[in-house]
Amino acid sequence: MIALLLQRAPRSRHSSLNPGKAIVYGLIAGLVGTGIKTICELISPPRPAGVSSPLGRMIDAGSVLVSREPMSQSLRAVTEPIVHFGFGAASAGVYVVVSERSPLLRAGCGTLFGFLFWLGLHEAFLPLAGFSPSPFQMTSWEQGNELVSHVFFGCTVELVRRGLTRQLA
């Protein structure tokens, strides 16, 4: 009986990543996830043609602050994807670090993260900052499209995180 009590507890299947690895895995997962989200938006655009994206509006606002003019269309065509992928990678990096401490965030294979990301960004921050219309002014198509692409993003980030953790950790 005492021998049983003194035995080491079995090691859990999930050993925690160090923060450096977690950030790197998250950055990689975020690039892949943003690629998947971009493909979703190419297949099914979340807004009518000719309507500027919230990210495009943010880039224009930044350009006006710096140069007093909106960014040219040709420069925005290069800048917007770079910023989009950079933001996706950074967000996923934060997700992987936080999910190491709070695995509940991984629920539904990352779909909870995708949902929360959409909710915080598209339903709260972007409208409050004036970069997108209020959720009440958007069509259900626009809302659903953004939600689905963010859920795909979250799920992809989690699947890549799992794959990297299994193969490299």
Q: What is the pLDDT along the chain (169 residues), one digit of tens a residue?
A: 344 333 433 334 556 888 899 999 999 999 999 999 999 999 999 888 888 899 999 999 999 999 998 888 889 889 999 999 999 999 999 999 999 999 999 999 999 999 999 999 999 999 999 999 999 999 999 999 999 999 999 999 999 999 999 988 6
CA–CA separation, 157 and 91 (whole Å): 10
pTM for this predicted structure: 0.86
User: Which tokens hold the place of 88?
Assistant: 């996706």
